[in-house]
Amino acid sequence: MQPPLLMVPQQNAPEAVAPAPAYYAPAPAPAAATVELGDLGRILLRRRFLILAVTALLTGLTLV
């Protein structure tokens, strides 16, 4: 006998959600990948001419 085409699991059944296997470890905490505002300001200050050149180029291409 073939199963019906549309099978909707019961949402309130306790066996509807199986526990995760043991080899699925929780996601690790994010590393120290945050950038401090001082670092961001230093990067923007060093790259200001590149930022201005790209902005001018994109503005020029938009207006032409």
pLDDT at 49: 95
Q: Which residue has the higher pLDDT, 3 or 30?
A: 30
**Placement of tokens 């790209």 in the chain:** 54
* CA atoms lying within 13 Å on the CB side of residue 22: 0
pLDDT tens for 12-21 read 555 556 666 6
Stretch (H or E) spanning 61: helix 48-63
Give this prediction's pTM. 0.41
On whether the CB atoms of residues 56 and 50 are closer than 8 A, the answer is no
pLDDT tens for 22-47 read 677 777 776 666 677 788 888 889 99
Tell me what the mean pLDDT of segment 47-64 comes to. 95
